[in-house]
Structures are given as structure tokens and as C-alpha cells.
Amino acid sequence: METRKARTRIADVAKEAGVSKTAVSFAFNSPERLNPVTAARIRDLADALGYKPRSIAGSATRRASAGATIRATQTIGLLTPQVLSVVFANPFYAELCAGVAAQTDQAGYGLLFVSPLHGSLVRAIGRATVDGFVAVGLSDDHPEVEQIRRAGLPMVIVDGGALPEHGLVESNDEVGARSAARHLLGLGHREFVVIGVEPPNMPGLFEYSAGPTESVARRRLTGYRQGLELGGVKLLDERMVVGPATFDGGVAAFHRIWEDGLRPTAILAMSDVMAIGVMWAAREVGLQVPEDISIVGFDDLDVARHSNPPLTTVHQPIRQKGEEAARLLLRMIANPDMERPEHKTLETRLMIRGSTAPALGHAPAPAGHAPARGKR
């Protein structure tokens, strides 16, 4: 695996220039306190080393050499992988944003939504005046990731690649997916289809095989496969369908399954909104849920409890993800030379509700041996 070069820090510039860290800070924030030649030499050397002081990105008050004062924006950017019209249609983002906003409100920060500008995250970042970003779903195989890393802004990634210089908050997706698969196996199901979430703005790049840093979809698929293989079921490629994480995406995915002649008794969907769309489409072709087909989602959105029937799903703490990400980002902004930002993994758990039942002809588990139902 290729080793990534560590981000250049203020101590590296100071050592190379033969000055103190304070002198480096003065060169960018208070150049009038240094000899102009020395200040210029430090800035040139820093540029050659690839050092980008956080203060320039807006994380602290500084005085430019021309005498203008530039202040911290007191604003955090929420970098989304899709355009906002798509993002706001997905209840997952509403809950995640509520968690981020709870922390930014408390800290006196504003929250700015930043979506791809004409398909480019880099261009969107360049236009945003913020002190740092919470980035959703930024994986290390994104075509712009290296440019994003060079932007030099503090960043916490939610459900994305574990880039060492940035914070990370994710769920243990594999464990949750594995528990969903094992639940259906325990109900006697052997004919499965997995409905995956396609990556936004990255046509042709999505592969279900594991990479050096796995995406959420890859981790969930790994969990499904592992769980099914424990029951002797191999998930074939033709039994995986990919679509957008929307209600309509779930409807369309089920119709593709049906038109291809697949007749699963159970479906594992990687998002609740897709799973609810699948339930709707299944009823359109005359199936009853869960009598004819069992369906399991992932997320445990509030709507999952109120669907008809209530959706069995994998709970992940979505609001807590947002809170943890914002909390970590605020710490990074306050401590710009933090050596290694925290990488945090949150727990998942299976919530068994009414959308799953024993496969036709499969006797239910004896009394006292049924799987425990999740509680909120």
C-alpha cells in the first residue's frame, strides 16, 4: 500500500528555516513583528514545503502585511456528496445535520451547506468561507480527494475514507449488516437480493470489492456476505442491484429485480428509504410483506417505525454521528497542530419489527428461542 506523506506542520517549517515556531506564526499572522526579508523567506520556504497555516484558512484572526484584518468566520461547512436538492430529500441527512447543528449552535458557530459546484467538490470548497468542514461520504478513491487534502482546512469525515490527517466518525457497518443477514437466515430464507447505494458523482468508480479504504456500501456488502456465508449461502453478483438512496430508487431497484426474473424471499437494502420504496413496489406486483417477502433496511430513521409494516432495520446513531463530527472539528479548529485527529466508530444494532417473518414452509423458532427484538 502506498504510504501517504504526512502533512507539513509548523515545527517542520521552523526547523528548516532555523527559527522558532513563534517566528513562523509571526510570518503569517503578524509579519510586521519580523524583518521583512525574514518574514518573506519563511513564507517562501513554507510554501515550498507545502505548509498551509490553518489561520490562512480562517481559523484565527490574522493581520495581513497590507494592514487588513481577516477574522475567523465562526462558520463550519457541511460538505455533501450530492447536490442539495437530492440531499434534502433523504431523511438521513436531516438527522445528521441536526446533530451537527446542535454542536455548532452551542459553540456559537454558523453552519453552511456546501454541495458539489458543477460536479466539483474542489471548486465548492474554494468558494466556501468557513473555518473547517464536516465532509459526508468522502472516500479516498474520490477523484478529487488529493486536491481536497491540499486545501489545508481542518476536516472531519463522516462515513468515508480514513485519511490520517483528518478526523473520522463512522458506524461499524459490517457488524450491523452481518446481524441483518443472520437474522434472515434464522428465519429460513435462502433466496436473497441486496440493494446497494450507488456513489454520487462518481460514475463507473463503484466496485463491491474491498479497497484499501472501504466505502460504507463496501463495508455493508462485506457484512451481508459474511453473514450469509455463515449459513452456507453465497451472494452472487447478479443478486446485487444498485440505485440512489431514495424512495424512488428503492422502487426502481425492485422493479429491475422483478423484470430480471429474480424471485427472492428476502431483500437486504442498504438504506431505510430504499427499503420502504421496495415494500411499496413489492405490493404493486401483488406481494405481501412479510408473508411473501421479508425486507430489512439500514439506518433506523424515524419513518422506519411508522412504515406499513414497521421496518426491520439496522440502527445506527445518525444524530450522534453529526454531534461527534462537529465536536471533533471544533477541537481541531481550536488546536490547529493536533498531531492525529481522532477516528471514532459508533455501534449498530438490529431492530426487529414487522417487515420480516419466517420463509414460507419454514417453522418459526420454538418459544423462548426467538431473536431478541431491538428497543429504542
Q: Mean pLDDT throughout 62-88?
A: 67
**The C-alpha cell of 33 is what?**
513583528
Please name the residues in contact with 164: beta carbons below 8 A apart, sequence gap of 6 or more: 4, 6, 340
Q: Compare 83 and 344 and report the one with higher pLDDT.
A: 344
Its pTM surpasses 0.85 = no
More confident position, 214 or 233: 233
**Grid cell at residue 310:** 414497521
Cell of 201: 458523482
Give the domain 173-311 fold: Rossmann fold (3.40.50)
Specify which residues 76 forms β-bridges with.
Answer: 111, 132
Question: Which residue in 196, 180, 208 sits closest to 256, CA to CA?
Answer: 196
DSSP 293: -
- 8 Å CB contact between 180 and 194: no
Tell me which of 250 and 23 has the higher pLDDT.
Answer: 250
Work out the percent of the chain whose per-residue pLDDT is above 90.
49
User: Average pLDDT over the chain, rounded to whole?
Assistant: 83
Q: Which amino acid is at 136?
A: V
* Domain boundaries of the chain, sorted by first residue: 10-70, 75-169+319-344, 173-311
Q: Which residues pair with 342 in a beta bridge?
A: none
Strand 110-114 versus strand 132-136 pairing type: unpaired
Are 10-70 and 75-169+319-344 in the same CATH fold? Answer: no
- Residue with the bigger pLDDT between 234 and 146: it is 234
In one-letter notation, the amino acid at residue 280 is W
| pLDDT tens digits for range 100-143 | 999 999 999 999 998 888 878 888 887 788 888 999 988 777 77
Q: Which helix (H) or strand (E) is 349 found in, with range?
A: strand 349-351
Handedness of CA 345, 176, 207, 321 (dihedral sign): negative
pLDDT band at 57 (very low <50, low <70, confident <90, very high): very low
**DSSP codes of every residue in 268-293:** EESSHHHHHHHHHHHHHTT--TTTT-
CATH class of 75-169+319-344: alpha beta
* 278, pLDDT greater than 50: yes
Query: Between the ranges 51-55, 162-166, 204-208, where is the mean pLDDT highest?
Result: 162-166
- Asked whether residue 370 carries a pLDDT value surpassing 70, the answer given is no
Q: What's the CATH fold of domain 10-70?
A: 434 Repressor (Amino-terminal Domain) (1.10.260)
Averaged pLDDT for residues 22-50: 80
Beta strands in 89-139, from DSSP E residues, in sequence order: 110-114, 132-136
User: What does the alpha-carbon distance between residue 73 and residue 71 come to, in Å, rounded to a whole number?
Assistant: 6
- Residues 313/183, Cβ–Cβ less than 8 Å: no
